[in-house]
Amino acid sequence: MPYHLFKYNKSDSDNFTTIAHRGASAYYPENTMISFEGAIARGADMVELDVQLSRDGEVVVFHDEKLSRCTNGKGKISDYKLVELKKLDAGSWFGREYKGAKIPTLDEALNLCRDKIAVNIEIKTEAVDKNIRNGIEEKCLKVVGQNSMREHIVFSSYDPRALKHLKEIDSSVATAVLFEKGYYGSKFPSEIIELLGADAFNCSKNELSKKWLMNLKLNNIPVNIYTVNDKKNMRRFLELGVSGIFTNKPDILKMVVENIKQMPRKEIINRGDFQ
């Protein structure tokens, strides 16, 4: 299922998706409300954000297992209750002007994005309990439902258990595999998609090979590449026909997309081969 089907602008004939990685994170502190606002303002089609659980079971938006890189806190995010996490500064590490930015809840993030931009919710491996179901999948689906965003949400995860559990809860929910060799070994993308019943394949720019791209296209599997911030590689992957690109600079990617549209089709085909 291509990501462009989740866009709010259904009249848009462009079947490519510009995905703002943790928001417009080249310009704002990642995974904060101002970063999501920046992605919307810069014309992104979709926001990618990461979710984990607080100690009291609230779904919060944060990438790292530990707080130290992006806040003034210490220890694991799962060691703190939501009320404690809300006291932390999630902006000063990026710049003084962002002092006081808070760790958002998923509900707050979706409330901002609703009617404006689609969302890729990545469930972090750290949030999936190794022995029992800790409920993050159910809680995420509940928040999505409360915000009436079901048709504009894709779930992704490196952890196959999360993807399987989402489909067990609701087989119609859209999911995307985040590829990790440690989980899947030498399996082809199409085999992984079939194994998990997933709808799309998200892959590092360093992992995609010509063999993989052929496998994905032959099986009509959408492939989205992460994380691409330079124009040269943006053009390269666009010309190769990927479905979407995760970027910290959605405005730059949108500009490259528009430039590609103006290129003669023959030139695009000739330039789109792997080196």
Residue extents of the structural domains in the chain: 3-271
- The yes-or-no verdict on residue 155 having pLDDT over 80 is yes
Q: Classify residue 204 by its DSSP letter.
A: E
Specify the pLDDT at position 24. 99
Distance CA(91)–CA(62), nearest Å, equals 12
Tell me, yes or no, if 165 is annotated catalytic: no
DSSP assignment of 109-126, as one string? HHHHHTTT-EEEEEE-GG
* Strand ranges, E, within 65-222: 118-123, 153-157, 175-178, 200-204
CATH of 3-271, one of 3.40.50.150, 3.20.20.190, 3.30.360.10, 3.30.70.20: 3.20.20.190
Specify the pLDDT at position 275. 47
Overall average pLDDT of the 57-78 stretch: 97
Specify the pLDDT at position 261. 83
99 vs 126 pLDDT, higher one: 99
Please classify residue 181 by burial: count the beta carbons closer than 10 Å to its beta carbon, then call 0-12 exposed, 13-18 middle and 19+ buried.
exposed
Tell me, yes or no, if 21 is annotated catalytic: yes
Segment among 1-5, 16-20, 31-35, 151-155 with least mean pLDDT: 1-5
- pLDDT exceeding 70 applies to what percent of the chain? 92
Overall average pLDDT of the 211-215 stretch: 93
- The yes-or-no verdict on residue 105 having pLDDT over 90 is yes
pLDDT band per the 50, 70, 90 thresholds, residue 129:
low
Overall average pLDDT of the 119-125 stretch: 96
Please classify residue 188 by burial: count the beta carbons closer than 10 Å to its beta carbon, then call 0-12 exposed, 13-18 middle and 19+ buried.
middle
Specify the pLDDT at position 130. 55
Please classify residue 79 by burial: count the beta carbons closer than 10 Å to its beta carbon, then call 0-12 exposed, 13-18 middle and 19+ buried.
middle
Overall average pLDDT of the 140-153 stretch: 97
Residue that is written with structure tokens 């099986």 in the block:
219
Specify the pLDDT at position 178. 97
91 vs 11 pLDDT, higher one: 91
Specify the pLDDT at position 125. 87
Specify the pLDDT at position 263. 74
Specify the pLDDT at position 269. 45
Candidate list 4, 63, 152, 165, residue with the active-site label = 63
3-state secondary structure of 233: helix
5 closest CA partner among 208, 244, 257:
244
pLDDT band per the 50, 70, 90 thresholds, residue 268:
very low
Q: What are phi and psi of 200, to 5 degrees?
A: -155, 165
Candidate list 4, 21, 152, 165, residue with the active-site label = 21
Segment among 2-11, 49-58, 114-123, 159-168 with least mean pLDDT: 2-11
Segment among 47-51, 133-137, 139-143 with least mean pLDDT: 133-137
Specify the pLDDT at position 243. 96
Specify the pLDDT at position 11. 57
pLDDT, tens digit, 9 for 90 and up, residues 166-202: 999 999 999 999 998 778 888 999 999 999 999 999 9
Specify the pLDDT at position 127. 83
Overall average pLDDT of the 155-170 stretch: 95
Please classify residue 185 by burial: count the beta carbons closer than 10 Å to its beta carbon, then call 0-12 exposed, 13-18 middle and 19+ buried.
exposed
- pLDDT exceeding 90 applies to what percent of the chain? 81
